[in-house]
Amino acid sequence: MPTLLQITGLSKSYGARSILHDADFMVADRQKIGVIGRNGAGKSTLFKIIVGEEDCDDGKIQVPEGTKIGYLTQHSEYSENETVIDYLMRSSDKPDWECAKLAGSFQIKNERLTTKVVSLAGGYQMRVKLIAMLLKDPNLLLLDEPTNYLDLSTQILLEKFLQNYSGAFMLISHDREFIKRTCKETLEIEHGKLTLYPRPIEEYLEYKEEQISLVEKHNVKIIREKKHLQKFVDRFGAKASKASQAQSKMKQIDRLKTIEVAHPLSTTRIKIPKVEEKKGIALDIEDLEIGYSDKSIAKGISLDIERGQRIAVVGDNGQGKTTFLKTIAGEIEALAGSYRWGHQINIGYYAQHIPAAMNSDESVQEYLKKVAPEDTSEQDIFEMAGNFLFKDEALKKKISVLSGGEKARLCLAKILLQKNQVILLDEPTNHLDFETVEALGQALQDSNVTILFVSHNRTFVELVANGIIEVKEGRIRRYLHNYEEYVYHLQKDIEDDLGLVDGPKNSKNEGGKELRIKLREGAKQLKSLEKSIGKLNDEKKELLEWFEQNYQEFSAEKTARLAQIEKQIPKKEEEWMELELELEVLKG
């Protein structure tokens, strides 16, 4: 296969900090490479050096004559008043019909072509940038975090495109699932070196663990042998009769060398403080309407969230996920209806605009000490800061000089330190490497905090969510199946739109499989509802018994809880009946 890119002896430093050191790397035609490494390892720097946006300190970047590089970043290149078709024609020098044809494969058709790019939701803007890049006919794509801010529909479209792309690409992503589904090889940037492994990410990480384990075992064996020889030298070195043997042993010790292991990147483990265990409803929503003074986004929202649930809020960009979180966080007023948080609930809220608004002369360490609860130990503060890459000198940095990504990480550290009973998170993973994403997901899964979150990172959602709320076409309601099922149906819809479905025979088989999955998931949901109804009835019985035995006492908390339960039981029973009817229809 022809070589598209050759890197030799590449070095790059920022002051005393070495990012890349004497690194070598080559990309051949049709290679599909996932680029991984911790934040600050040099992934984006490598891409910028390749396209000439940054200079290297030393080394060579050779781009053969036949290579055409397409570089996709988060930056916008369109003007404020430019329509989609005008921007595509200007940036590519291609006729309108050719631009429209390619745009159609990314579901940008008809009136969307004449819409101003800036008025489109983030996912559609990324589609437009991708189309503009592809119209230039590149054969090597450099994709730097293309899934940031993309809704799941757009991610699946991009995934399908990359799976069928005939050229080569290098992809940086913090979503392990996206890398798994699109990349056949893995490039890790670590300690200034580039390591290419010709297999997918899961196999590379497994191989890496095995290699480290082998090196450690070798070193243990060498150290043990050195100690054994040293004992002989110490015991007999002074005796003339054993002097020659002792000298021989000393030479053996000198020849025994351990294999140097570059300091391994520490595995992030995030610990979220436990909150007091309580039963009951965390959030009760009645006929809520959300939106802004000039526009209603969704209405007729009636939901209840039990304490300890971890709910993913899913749906395409522009449908109202962020507006919903902002409303229940108290950031914006509801247009109609009501919502009520449970008794003694503190709420931690993370959104993209919050870190950007931080402006303080406090250091990172001072800030975290100030916002942490009084009983938080200094060790806990340091550990949480370290989880989000604030260690040593970084702890002394003033907030005013932090980058947007650093402020976002600091904001997350603050929220996790505080003992909030509820955490609301709007795209929390956008500035994290995938190790930290997964550590955060595991920590949230293990916590007893109530969580409502928006994320399009599939790995993160699968780790955290035990319930789903879908935002779609002006409605917000429970999705009765699990996240895997939600992704499956979304993917099938997109494949249908793109004409990627198989013939009638396979369609029939798929239909049967889909029906079986629906029935199985429906049965699980029925069981879950029955269990929930049973728990509510048991709690109601306990409360009524308490009132009987303590008829002379009054408890506002127990009275309010009983009223809540009496509202919740009919809701759950109605949900059960609707699902039972739906399953009967499916069974035919």
Mean predicted confidence (pLDDT) in 209-237:
71
pLDDT at 241 over 90: no
Average pLDDT over residues 383-398: 88
Query: Residue 274 above 90 pLDDT?
Result: no
User: Is pLDDT at 22 greater than 50 in this prediction?
Assistant: yes
Picking from 126, 128, 106, the residue whose alpha carbon sits closest to that of residue 115 is 128
> Average pLDDT in the 562-567 region?
87
Residue 587: pLDDT band by 50, 70, 90 thresholds? Answer: low
pLDDT at position 477 over 50 = yes
Query: What local confidence, expressed as pLDDT, does residue 263 receive?
Result: 37
Tens digit of each residue's pLDDT (9 = 90 or more) over 54-105: 999 999 999 999 999 999 876 778 888 999 999 999 999 999 999 999 998 8
More confident position, 140 or 130: 140
Please determine, for residue 259, whether its predicted confidence score (pLDDT) is greater than 50: no
**What phi and psi values does residue 17 have, to the nearest 5 degrees?**
-90, 120
Q: Which residue blocks in 329-373 are alpha helix, DSSP H?
A: 353-356, 364-371
Confidence (pLDDT) at 275? 87
Is the Cα torsion angle 453, 456, 460, 466 positive or negative in sign?
Answer: positive
Between 126 and 252, where is the model more confident?
Answer: 126
In this predicted structure, the answer to whether residue 9 has a pLDDT above a threshold of 80 is: yes
pLDDT-derived band at 215, boundaries 50, 70, 90: low
**Does the pLDDT of residue 25 top 50, yes or no?**
yes
pLDDT at 131: 92
**Across residues 522-533, what is the average pLDDT?**
81
pLDDT single digits (tens) 144-171: 988 877 888 888 888 988 998 999 999 9
* pLDDT score for 504: 41
C-alpha gyration radius of the chain: 29
Average pLDDT, the chain: 85
Nearest-CA neighbor of 464 among 483, 442, 485, 495? 442
DSSP structure string for 150-183: --HHHHHHHHHHHHH-SSEEEEE-S-HHHHHHH-
Q: Residue 294 in 3-state DSSP? A: coil
pLDDT tens figures, 279-308: 889 999 999 999 998 899 999 999 999 999
Beta bridge partner(s), residue 478: 469
Contact between 21 and 11 (Cβ < 8 Å): yes
Q: What is the pLDDT of residues 318-376, one digit of tens each?
A: 899 999 999 999 999 999 999 999 988 999 999 877 877 776 788 999 999 999 998 89
pLDDT computed for residue 86 by the predictor: 95
Rounded Cα distance between 324 and 220, Å, is 56
Question: What type of residue sits at position 13?
Answer: S
pLDDT at 236: 64
* pLDDT, mean of residues 204-216: 70
Residue 26: the pLDDT is 94
Q: What is the β-pairing status of strands 450-454 and 310-314?
A: parallel
Contact 232, 246 (CB under 8 A): yes
pLDDT for position 74: 65
pLDDT of residue 511: 57
Question: Quick one: pLDDT at residue 93?
Answer: 93
Q: What is the pLDDT of residues 410-421, one digit of tens each?
A: 999 999 999 899
pLDDT at 268: 63
pLDDT score of 364: 93
pLDDT band at 555 (very low <50, low <70, confident <90, very high): confident
Rounded Cα distance between 581 and 329, Å, is 35
CA distance 397 to 181: 38
